Structure 1
Amino acid sequence: MTAVLDAPTRVHVASGSGGSLTGTGRLLLFMLRRDRVRFTSWVLGLTLMMAYFANAIGLILDETAVQGFAALARNPVIALIGGPGYGFDEITVGRIVVGIYGVYLMLGAALMSILTVSRHTRAEEQAGRAELVRANVVGRHAQLAAALILVALMNVVMTVLMTLAFHFSPLEPEAFGPSLLFACSVGAVGLVFAGVTAVTVQLSAFSRAASGMAGAVLGAAFVIRGLGDMSRAQGGDLGWLSWLSPLGWSQQTAPLTLDRWWPLLLSLGFAVLCTTTAVALQSRRDLAAGILQDRLGAGRAPGWLRGPLSLAFRLQRSALVWWSVAILLGGITFGTFAEPMVENAAGLPDEIMIIFGGTEGIIEGYLGFMSVYFAFMVAVFAILSVQALVGEEQSVRTEPVLAASVSRAGWLLSWTIVAALGSVWLLALAGVGNGIGAALATDEWGLLGDVLVGQIAQVTSVWALLGLAVALYGFAPRLVGLTWAVFGWGTALSLFGDMLQLDEALLSTSVFRHVGQYPAQDLSWSAVAVLTAAAVALIGIGVAGFRRRDLTTA
């Protein structure tokens, strides 16, 4: 029997005047509807943080304390955690807010942009929903364009609200321009990292990897900016490094001091360049695919990959490798600043020296402070690890694991054990790096052992946050993000609480305040025991909740 087939009929769907951007408006409205709570939470949360800084610091600091901050410009560690300290020679409360606390508002804006762009682009493709959307009359670049417009709106609204919050605070800036410039410098960082994420979501087929790459760029930007500002604070030759960082561009505007608008052109130009690159890359890849090709795995799994613990390690191995490299290099780099700390310690006020555990043993004080600083970083790894577990469940990869001979408790505990031991490993690398860097700078190799002990002891603080994240995951995966609020609160109190002379009862609410900054301070073994017990209890609560709830797939 012969069958006669007609020539294929080409079905033409009118693309409309927008071409590859057709449907952008409708997708934007849908994203606004979907993110109505996230939009409000991010924008108001960052604005309230600005309002808190602008109001509380002005009320807490008296004239004597304000003058004490003038020495911050000479301190490389404060330059690391805050910024270049423009205007500190004629210090005001407004310049303290801009020069020290502004960078953390910028980090918040960057995280908002990274997570939002990834959520509405690569996460949609990975879940298969983007394919359904593209089956309609929707242009190739419409979803990316809508996501970028959404993030731009978030940053614009945030900028307007921050301007008002800063200008009408007790600081009472004389002119409106510096308030607007400060808020625009924060929003500019958000736009830059929206563009960065637009590129990374084209590179990888997985939202977690795309967000991780964008986060790595943010981390590198913070470190590069910090190294440049530290060098500048001690009269070094590496101050130019700050100009290689998007965070540095915004800080170089120096509101209330230099009031320079032109550095924001660098941010705007870089954001446009990243967006153009993202569009070009998206034109070269298939839907749900990445520019970076996935490596094919072996046809048969190795013998060691049989249990849930080994599988959990395999899934977190790549992240551990990259974190290990970054932490070790960062430890060596920051350790080498131990000797310059001694040279710049003379004349610093007590409000600053208390950060390093007192006036005795400035090298030990600096290394003790860095042990807590690296605990902040490793805590980020631990929280992200739990969020990765949320992604495994929502991507329907947890269900096949539990369909085998793996209990829910066994799977969650295996993942948590890998994250907990990984935290110990990373802190040990930080201790080794810090110790080696300090020993090379001071020729005191006896520091290495003490620094390593002090750094590893901080793991109990990290475990407490890990336990909280696991407890939230066990009952409601969507609530894991609340751990970031606890982390941010604890970090802010540890970095700035003593300088602001806050009440000890308030300072004790920070999870990072209890272990002690060894070798400058004695370790509190009772705090180590309590934090460890709290972590174990929280993990147990999370396991109990996970055993009783349904799996989520969206």
Structure 2
Amino acid sequence: MATITAPAPAAARGGDRRPLAGVGALARFALRRDRIRIPAWIAGLTLGSVVNLVSFEDLYPTEADREAVAETMNTPAGLAMTGPAEYLRDYTAGAMMGHQLLGFTALLAALMSVLMVVRHTRAEEESGRAELVRATVVGRHAHMAAALGVVIVTNLVLAVVLAGALAGTGGTGVTATGSLLYGLAHAAVGIVFAGIAAVTVQITEHSRGASGMGLAAIAVAYALRAAGDIGEGGLSWLSPIGWAQATRVYVDDRWWPLLVAAAAAAALVTAGVLLSTRRDVGAGLRRPRQGRGYASVALGHPIGLAVRLHRGLLIGFAAALALLGTMYGSILSEVEDMLAGVEMLEEALAEMGGASIVESFVSMVMVVLAVIASVYVVLAALRPRAEESDGRAEPVLATAVSRARWLAGHVVVGMLGGVVVLAAGGLGLGLAGALALRDSAVLTDAMGAALAYAPALWLTGGLAVALFGLAPRLATLTWVVPVYGFVVSYLGGLLQFPEWMNNLSPFGHVPDLPAEELSVLPLLLLTAIAAGLALLGLTAFRQRDLQTDH
């Protein structure tokens, strides 16, 4: 007897006919997951912008001060570090924001967008959750649409908050219209790189690879912007960061470069959607490389496995800090002309016991490099948590590898990797500075100043390990250390924060080499505390159950 099967309900077959089915629910879920990350990004970028604007007003209160800075900035090294020379025509505090800060904070907006898109698309596929969700009535493009929608809204909110905060300061040359353009320039860069991430997540089947390609695109964009600004300007038009600075915000307030960014973002999103139709869920357009028939001897040991897992991140951070250090070192010969005569700086130099302006600048730059290196240490120290929550640690620990050896492998690689990253930044700064000043002693000073921050990085990593062992769900609180360290160590001197706030940060106990004398005792204490925290985390991890998200 024949069996008559009723047609499936329209909702059940909506996956093919309604490619955006469920996008609203997925967008709400993404907002729920990022309820802390999104406000943190917006607050951090806004606070950093306002603080810098206030510092510009305090450091350069007169028109003569600002003209002197503009004259110093009008060099190849100065323009590569900041932005196009068109901002120097009327160098108000607002123009300083567009010239010196816009490119850097727009880069951070791009980073935020890339990480968010990858987190809500490729990472979901890699974990297997996207396939389970797609088995319901969710459409094929719903994940991508939800991720892009959340990122676009986040960037637009950032633009509005930035505009309101900056316009309310009443800074010299800071207008309401210019502030809105300043905020939208950030949003434009962020949305363009969201489109770039929409393409990179189609290429590889791994979230780390997609993030890496997105970060590489950011680095290329920044390099093109720098090369264009010291040349004829043509290369800057190949960079979304260059488009943002082409608005000449607070100087000419040109809106039309945002149209270029909007067109590029639309093209990239379209390309991402079209590419997604040419692959299966969980797969990438690029075929995975065939591995060896047998694993190397190193992979049979916890440290060898950790090196394999961390090497991409380590190489990327080391290269980035070497480049950043080189860029700072290249302007050391111009620092005295740029900063001499600034009253607040002269007072700070007097407190340092007569250190030169170059030495003080190197010590200030080293704080920035150390904080960035601590970001690597936090990422490396939190890698065991990702391995555990995604279920990859369990099969490894089911072998003869003990918990202590497995976790210790990640800890050792993360701690030593932090030293490598620091050394790369110090080497770039020292070599470029030695060439600029024609003084080989700069290299030794820069390397010593960089390596002095190693104990502070170790304490940061030790805290992450301790939280991972005791309360793994709270391990992400370690991010407070680099953020707080940057605020009090880099901006605290300008804003005159009380000393006790600086003492709460591990970076505040590191001598400001080469502007200060080396004091070994604080470094030994930081190292001892770091060792204690790491030992506590190792002990606690041995005594608790594994926690996975599966």
Which range, TM-score by smaller chain? 0.7 to 0.9
> CA, structure 1 residues 109+319, in 2 after alignment: closer, same or farther (shift >3 Å)?
closer
Distance apart, 1:70 and its partner CA: 6.0
1:199, 1:277 within 8 Å by CA — same for their partners in 2?
yes
Does 2:296 correspond to 1:302?
A: yes
Aligned to 1:152: 152
Q: Which moved more, 1:480-489 or 1:67-76?
A: 67-76
1:20, 1:138 within 8 Å by CA — same for their partners in 2?
no
Q: Secondary structure at the match of 2:282?
A: coil
Distance apart, 1:82 and its partner CA: 6.5
Give the TM-score normalised by the residue count of structure 2.
0.83
Q: Distance in 2 between matches of 1:280 and 1:61?
A: 46
Deviations 1:343-396, CA, capped at 9 Å, x for gaps: x44744143567887875444444444433322332222122133333222221
Give the alignment partner of residue 452 of structure 1, picking from 438, 447, 450.
Answer: 447
1:173, 1:179 within 8 Å by CA — same for their partners in 2?
no
- Quick one: which amino acid aligns to residue 458 of structure 1? Y
Aligned to 2:20: 24
Distance apart, 1:126 and its partner CA: 0.8
Does 2:456 correspond to 1:465?
A: no
- Quick one: which amino acid aligns to residue 406 of structure 2? W
Give the alignment partner of residue 257 of structure 2, picking from 248, 263, 287.
Answer: 263
Q: Distance in 1 between matches of 2:58 and 2:362?
A: 30
Q: Distance in 2 between matches of 1:482 and 1:348?
A: 41
Give the alignment partner of residue 272 of structure 2, picking from 263, 271, 278.
Answer: 278
> CA, structure 1 residues 174+74, in 2 after alignment: closer, same or farther (shift >3 Å)?
closer
Q: Secondary structure at the match of 2:210?
A: helix
Does 2:421 correspond to 1:420?
A: no
Aligned to 2:115: 115
2:59, 2:342 within 8 Å by CA — same for their partners in 1?
no
1:475, 1:546 within 8 Å by CA — same for their partners in 2?
yes
Q: Distance in 2 between matches of 1:84 and 1:507?
A: 35
Q: What is the total number of aligned residue pairs between the two structures?
A: 538
Q: Which moved more, 1:211-220 or 1:98-107?
A: 98-107
Segments of structure 1 that go 5 or more residues without pairing to the other structure are: 1-5
- Quick one: which amino acid aligns to residue 342 of structure 2? P
Does 2:355 correspond to 1:375?
A: no
**Identity across the alignment (%):** 36
Segments of structure 2 that go 5 or more residues without pairing to the other structure are: none
Distance apart, 1:242 and its partner CA: 5.1
Does 2:517 correspond to 1:522?
A: yes
2:202, 2:276 within 8 Å by CA — same for their partners in 1?
yes
Q: Distance in 2 between matches of 1:42 and 1:78?
A: 33
Q: Secondary structure at the match of 2:377?
A: helix
> CA, structure 1 residues 405+73, in 2 after alignment: closer, same or farther (shift >3 Å)?
farther
1:253, 1:263 within 8 Å by CA — same for their partners in 2?
yes
Q: Distance in 1 between matches of 2:99 and 2:49?
A: 12
Map residues 137-536 of structure 1 onto 2, 5 A cutoff.
137-168=137-168, 176-222=176-222, 225=225, 227=226, 237=231, 243-341=237-335, 344-345=337-338, 347-352=340-345, 361-536=356-531
Distance apart, 1:339 and its partner CA: 3.2
Distance apart, 1:312 and its partner CA: 1.3
> CA, structure 1 residues 455+195, in 2 after alignment: closer, same or farther (shift >3 Å)?
same
> CA, structure 1 residues 378+410, in 2 after alignment: closer, same or farther (shift >3 Å)?
same
Deviations 1:193-250, CA, capped at 9 Å, x for gaps: 211221221122111232233233334445655x459xx6xxx547766554433432
> CA, structure 1 residues 90+219, in 2 after alignment: closer, same or farther (shift >3 Å)?
same
> CA, structure 1 residues 188+62, in 2 after alignment: closer, same or farther (shift >3 Å)?
closer
Q: Secondary structure at the match of 1:512?
A: helix
> CA, structure 1 residues 296+19, in 2 after alignment: closer, same or farther (shift >3 Å)?
same
Aligned to 1:133: 133
Q: Distance in 2 between matches of 1:330 and 1:53?
A: 19
Map residues 530-545 of structure 1 onto 2, 5 A cutoff.
530-545=525-540
Q: Distance in 1 between matches of 2:298 and 2:48?
A: 52
2:14, 2:137 within 8 Å by CA — same for their partners in 1?
no
1:58, 1:170 within 8 Å by CA — same for their partners in 2?
no
Q: Secondary structure at the match of 1:66?
A: coil
Q: Which moved more, 1:60-69 or 1:21-30?
A: 60-69
- Quick one: which amino acid aligns to residue 504 of structure 1? E
Q: Distance in 1 between matches of 2:48 and 2:298?
A: 52
Q: Which moved more, 1:274-283 or 1:166-175?
A: 166-175
